[in-house]
Structure 1
Amino acid sequence: MGRSTAALMPAAAALLMLLLVSLASRDESYEQETRRIFMEWKAKYGMTYKDAGEEECRYAVFKDTRRQVERNNALYGGATFGLNGLSDLAQEEIFLGRGFRMGEDAYEEDTRRMFLGWKAKYGKTYKDAGEEDCRYKLFKGNRRMVGQLNAAAAGETAYGLNQFGDLTYEEVRASCYNPEMEEGKLSARCHAATADLPDTVAGRLISDLVCRCIAIELKQNTES
């Protein structure tokens, strides 16, 4: 039995390496394909950007949108969703495009202040003004998500934005998703706080982001 098990170990290791190479290759192919689609999309809609940094950020949003479209199509069992002229916009920009809300000026001012403090805390710098503005829109949208979670937690748990606060879901997933993470290792309080989120693609994405990376639990003894 021992010899048999020992003989299987090299084969298992080789299989694991093949799997890892396959996953890396698949991710690389997806990246290349998305880059090509992005170039075609820009040409179709006449999209241009002022700065290289802004274009990279907009590409990140576009890639995230493509993933969301694919998830929706898989969920509803057909190719019913597609990319349009808004595919490089952050949810926050689309949210504001639906109409002005009471108190939005004060919220914007407060978020700008928070963004400056957050950048200083995590040493965030950007290539150009276009990239910073794009990342700010993502930060503002992520702040809204965290606010929803704090409201759902009803004071039992406090959440805040960590160093991933200016990233898209796809970027966060690529940065810190661990397929070996066990459900039991995720925060029980986080699960409790996200329990009331709707069972939709957006709701599940918010829950996943919060439980894994974007929102961090602030212990009672941490500085406010």
Structure 2
Amino acid sequence: MGRGCAVALAAAAAALLVSLPMLLVLPPDADTYEQESRRMFMEWKARFKKTYKYAGEEECRYAVFKESRCRVAWARAAGVTTSGLNGLAARSNEEIYRGHGVEKGEGSYEQETRRMFVGWKAKYGKTYRDVGEEECRYRLFKGNRRAVVWLNAAAAAGQNAYDINQFGDLTNEEVRQSCYPEMVDQELSARCQAAAPYPDPEHGRRIWYQ
């Protein structure tokens, strides 16, 4: 398991116990880990005959793939699985678990989420290189929104309410990478500290929102 994954997994495990700035230390061999992940992604594409029409979409799929790589390493370290990355490694949880049929009310949920995505993009000035990247990012956004809906339902008894923040279309790994420049960017540091990781109750991943 690469040092990058080790740090990411340790951060996720400790996320509810320590403050965010403590989680933002990249490993000394971060560049090596990135190069290794890129190489693995190329080999994975060749193995499963994956091609992408748009460059932006491919980059988004790589981000999902890298997140999957960390989750697999975490599961192996915990003894949950001995399996590796399969053909779904570049697909978001939303696509994997919701892509085999429409649940009751899912049609209206999709319409509402699409509308929210448009407003969210305008609020945070989000733009994408191509339609492929935008659709990939939307799937991540939709999955994060699903976790927010669950949390707000659980907080109905007067606890804190949650909403999707500017990290709503990113993977956990991307959030960590985005927050790392907090050493020199005080504005980004404040935004990162406002974001907190919470577990997705259904699929065991951690989602970033506030």
Q: CA deviation at 1:98?
A: 3.9
Are 1:75 and 2:115 counterparts? no
Give the corresponding residue for 1:166.
Answer: 169
Q: Give the superposed CA RMSD.
A: 2.9
Q: Whose relative contact order is higher, 1 or 2, with alpha carbons under 8 Å and at least 6 apart? A: 2
- Give the secondary-structure state (helix, strand or coil) at the position aligned to 1:159: coil
Give the corresponding residue for 1:148.
Answer: 150
CA-to-aligned-CA distance 1:96-143 (integer Å, 9 cap, x gap) = 134321011100000000000000000000000000000000000000
Higher Cα Rg: structure 1 or 2?
A: 1
What letter corresponds to residue 143 of structure 1 in structure 2? R
Give the corresponding residue for 2:133.
Answer: 131
Cα distance in structure 1, aligned partners of 2:40 and 2:168: 27
Cα distance in structure 2, aligned partners of 1:117 and 1:53: 21
Question: In the alignment, is the contact (CA less than 8 A) between 1:53 and 1:126 conserved in 2?
Answer: yes
Cα distance in structure 1, aligned partners of 2:76 and 2:126: 35
Moved more, 98-107 or 160-169: 98-107
Cα distance in structure 2, aligned partners of 1:129 and 1:197: 27
Cα distance in structure 1, aligned partners of 2:177 and 2:83: 24
Cα distance in structure 1, aligned partners of 2:26 and 2:90: 26
Cα distance in structure 2, aligned partners of 1:59 and 1:136: 15
2:69 pairs with one of 57, 66, 69: 66
Q: CA deviation at 1:215?
A: 2.0
Q: CA deviation at 1:55?
A: 0.3
Q: CA deviation at 1:24?
A: 5.1
What letter corresponds to residue 88 of structure 1 in structure 2? A
1:28-107 equivalence runs, <5 A: 28-76=31-79, 80-107=82-109
Cα distance in structure 2, aligned partners of 1:167 and 1:23: 18
- Give the secondary-structure state (helix, strand or coil) at the position aligned to 2:163: strand
Cα distance in structure 2, aligned partners of 1:131 and 1:201: 24
Q: TM-score, normalised by structure 1?
A: 0.70
Where does structure 2 lack aligned partners over 5 or more consecutive residues?
A: 1-24, 184-192
Cα distance in structure 2, aligned partners of 1:126 and 1:169: 19
What letter corresponds to residue 165 of structure 2 in structure 1? N
Give the fraction of aligned pairs with identical amino acids, expressed as a percent: 57
Question: In the alignment, is the contact (CA less than 8 A) between 2:67 and 2:173 conserved in 1?
Answer: yes
What letter corresponds to residue 209 of structure 2 in structure 1? A
Q: CA deviation at 1:52?
A: 0.4
**Cα separation, partners in 2 of 1:101 and 1:141, compared to 1, 3 Å:** same
Runs of 4+ off more than 3 Å? 22-25
Give the corresponding residue for 2:122.
Answer: 120
Cα distance in structure 2, aligned partners of 1:23 and 1:112: 34
- Give the secondary-structure state (helix, strand or coil) at the position aligned to 2:29: helix
Cα distance in structure 1, aligned partners of 2:161 and 2:73: 32
Question: In the alignment, is the contact (CA less than 8 A) between 1:71 and 1:201 conserved in 2?
Answer: no
Greater helix fraction, Structure 1 or Structure 2? 1
Question: How many equivalent residue pairs?
Answer: 175
CA-to-aligned-CA distance 1:32-89 (integer Å, 9 cap, x gap) = 0010010011011110001100000000000000000000001117x61210111100
Cα distance in structure 2, aligned partners of 1:59 and 1:46: 15
What letter corresponds to residue 84 of structure 1 in structure 2? N
Where does structure 1 lack aligned partners over 5 or more consecutive residues?
A: 1-21, 181-185, 217-224
Q: CA deviation at 1:173?
A: 1.9
